[in-house]
Amino acid sequence: VDPRCPGALPEGQNNPQICPYGLYSEQLSGSAFTCPRAANKRSWLYRILPSVRHKPFTPLSCGNLSDNWNEVEPDPNQLRWKPFTITKASEKKVDFVSGLRTLCGAGDAKSRNGIAVHIYTCNASMLDKSVSIAPVPYQGEILITTEFGKMMVEPNEICVLQQGMRFSVDVFGETRGYILEVYGTHFELPDLGPIGANGLANPRDFQVPVAWFEDRTVGTTYTVINKYQGKLFSCQQEFSPFNVVAWHGNYTPYKYNLENFMVINCVAFDHADPSIFTVLTAKSTRPGVAIADFVIFPPRWGVAEHTFRPPYYHSKSQIIYLYTTSLLPRLDCYSSFSMAVTKWGLETCQRLDKNYYKCWEPLRNHFNPNWAPDRK
């Protein structure tokens, strides 16, 4: 509840005939009504005006935001990009929405089964504009205003915004980051199995915003941008959508500081499977197989004998994000989908490192057909 309106959350029921302060009750559903209790996702919001009050949506240019995974021929090579450039504010104002670019993805938004990876670079805050697709910063902090409240998200933190949640991004200078979007499922904590009750990301370290509202009328100049079936649409309304005075439920935005991750590590031999570094997982219909695993490799002690301690060679559909400082963790996304790179990612951005393959050329053949085990 926003502390300016104590008692705004109805007691004993979700949808009273008359809500406190004359608010409208509105349920945001993240699952079917009949989902089992453990999987049921919903929140009740108590807002000054309902979100349905807006002018009709019309198509909006998607720019370099895409869901076309067939616009270029498949490229089976390992790929690496140089840091994506940020337009100088003195040259052109670029906010979060206009700075979105799709790097790769797979699957289909209409059938709600797939994944997309986007890059954003921006230098200006969103003014009287909201959108619904969640960012992770790796340069510059961002202030995210959501219908549930505000979250300040800094490098080394991640935030998750669920489908259907509107938000706006304020920046404080040149900013860039990425977005991992999954279709038709939700991120959740991975099962711990033999690890036991504790370790990896602990539930208590995830933070949700406190209700915050603005009762602000802006004529017909407030733009709401909606990403629907892979395309962008916009509509106009007369008021700020951030008018929720109180809420309750389990379908919420949240953020997590990666410094709180409890690393599980090997202390004997060999390199443990990267799954032990999973922060969040978006499960598929096949047990043990994920649409997306969000994995980090944080600074840690790596103690092992008779082994090669960096990750062993393995072939997988994987996106890696490297910070420019070694004090921050390496971020990985593993997916069961075979992701295709967009034309923007391969050509238009002009940031593809075409010499990446040369990193492996110094590797030499150490095979010795006369080798024999040490009998000592």
Is 248 a catalytic site residue? no
Give yes or no for a contact between 298 and 261, defined as CB atoms under 8 angstroms apart. yes
- Written as one string, the DSSP assignment of 318-361 is EEEE--SSTTS-EEEEE-SS--EE-HIIIIIT--B-TTGGGGGT
- CA 289, CA 173: separation in Å to the nearest integer? 39
Q: Which residues, in sequence order, are bridge partners of residue 148? A: none
- CA 342, CA 116: separation in Å to the nearest integer? 10
Give yes or no for a contact between 280 and 258, defined as CB atoms under 8 angstroms apart. no
User: Residue ranges of the alpha helices (H) in the chain?
Assistant: 343
- CA 312, CA 170: separation in Å to the nearest integer? 40
Measured at the alpha carbon of residue 131, what is the angle toward residues 149 and 222, in degrees to the nearest 5?
A: 90
Measured at the alpha carbon of residue 327, what is the angle toward residues 324 and 331, in degrees to the nearest 5?
A: 65
72 phi and psi, to 5 degrees?
Answer: -135, 160
Give yes or no for a contact between 158 and 279, defined as CB atoms under 8 angstroms apart. yes
- CA 62, CA 111: separation in Å to the nearest integer? 20
Enumerate residues 6+ apart whose C-beta is below 8 A from 216: 239, 240, 243
Measured at the alpha carbon of residue 298, what is the angle toward residues 318 and 307, in degrees to the nearest 5?
A: 80
How far is residue 244 CA from its own chain's centroid? 23
Active-site residue identified among 118, 248, 271, 306? 271
Q: Is 186 annotated as a binding residue?
A: no
Residue 258 has a CB neighbour count (10 Å cut-off) of 17
- Helices and strands (H, E) in the chain, number of each type: 1, 21
> Residues annotated in the binding site for Fe cation, as ranges?
314
> Residues annotated in the binding site, as ranges?
314
Q: Give the catalytic positions in this structure.
A: 271
